[in-house]
Amino acid sequence: MSAGLALLIAAQEGVHDPGGTPAEGVAAAHGEVQGPAEVLMHHVLDQPFFGLPSKHLAFFVIAGLVVILLARLALRSYDARRRPKGLGSVVEVFVVFVRDEIALANIGHDGRKFVPLLCSFFFFILAAALLGLLPFSATSTGNIAVTLGLASVSFLAQQYAGISKYGAFGHLHNLVPPGLPAWLLPIMIPVEILSMFTKPFALMVRLFANMLAGHMVITALLLLIPLMATINTAFGILIAPVSIGLALFIMLLELLVALIQAYIFTLLTAIFIGMYAHPAH
């Protein structure tokens, strides 16, 4: 194991022995020295957090509380004439955008009743992604179980949109394209039923992969410093500003990614709901 990588692990774990090498300090604390793959996975996988069994669960709850607090503060900013001030004005911009450009534009007049759900998706995913950029934090939407839960709620909303309007039988009947030859029904019916589940599956994987990828790239860039230092100390010194600069750039890019992923998940959910609420005839 390289001294440079061991030093990085030792610094992260708080292990330091002035009388020995960094690798020896890590080995003494852990019994073995981890490699780059273990360090990388340590930063993206779930782990205990201040006595709690799941760090992702902790930040899942924190993200939810942040959204609730944001909504309460935004409501309090309205005056007697129902005009927002400060934070309320900012939140209202996003709420109106979700209502007009996502819900009503893709679902139609039925979209108003889905605005609270779509706003919840948007603000929660955005809050979870932004919290994940803080030091010593975690992105809860980088956990497949969290994105599965979000996609499951989206799936239920999609089915509710069709069943509440056409009934269970009418909803299933609408899945089959009109004018389809009878001999194609044994093929198309299973395909259409399968497509009901592929939509939320795509939402789940898309959000999970995008949230996970950014953190893996940042960690990999920072790992270049100790890895290059194992070849030559001068290489480590030369690569350090480049590696740190690129990592900072990716972190700034993650701010945009957080907004984009919240928008895409909300938009696709609205599109899928609109497909069931207004099937093609």
Return the pLDDT at 122. Answer: 96
Instruction: Give dist(CA 232, CA 91) in Å, integer.
Output: 51
Predicted TM-score of the model (pTM): 0.80
- Say yes or no to pLDDT of 32 above 70: no
Return the pLDDT at 91. Answer: 92
Return the pLDDT at 220. Answer: 81
Q: Which amino acid, residue 272?
A: F
What are the DSSP calls for 31-64, one per residue? SS---HHHHHHHHHS---BTTBS-HHHHHHHHHH
- Per-residue model confidence as pLDDT tens digits over 41-73: 666 777 887 888 888 899 999 999 999 999 999
- Say yes or no to pLDDT of 16 above 50: no
Instruction: Give dist(CA 88, CA 209) in Å, integer.
Output: 32
Paired with 255 in beta bridges are none
